Amino acid sequence: GSVSKEQQDKSIEALQNYNIDRIGVSHCTGLKASMRLAQEFQERFFFCNVGTVIEA
């Protein structure tokens, strides 16, 4: 199901407390939440699809 804006706000606030270099989402995140994360994390955001390779 869909996550409320309030829960999105709380989740993003919690994530911002960490020094996240990259944040990858998949289809289960949902488009609305993915777009919100993309806005918040900008160049650190990416879609993590099957076969995605993440290099350190």
Q: Do residues 35 and 48 make contact, with C-beta atoms less than 8 angstroms apart?
A: no
pTM of the model: 0.84
Instruction: List, for residues 7-36, the tens digit of each pLDDT value.
Output: 999 999 999 999 999 999 999 999 999 999
Q: What contacts 12, CB < 8 A, 6 or more positions away?
A: 36, 37, 40
Mean pLDDT of the chain: 92
32: Cα separation from own chain's centroid = 10
**Domain residue ranges of the chain, discontinuous segments joined by +:** 5-47
Q: Please give the torsion angle defined by the CA atoms of residues 12, 14, 16 and 17, in that order, rounded to the nearest 10 degrees.
A: 180
Q: What percent of the chain has pLDDT over 70?
A: 98
Tell me the torsion sign for CA atoms 55, 10, 43, 36. positive
pLDDT bin (cut points 50, 70, 90) of residue 1 is low
- According to the model, what pLDDT value does residue 2 have? 80
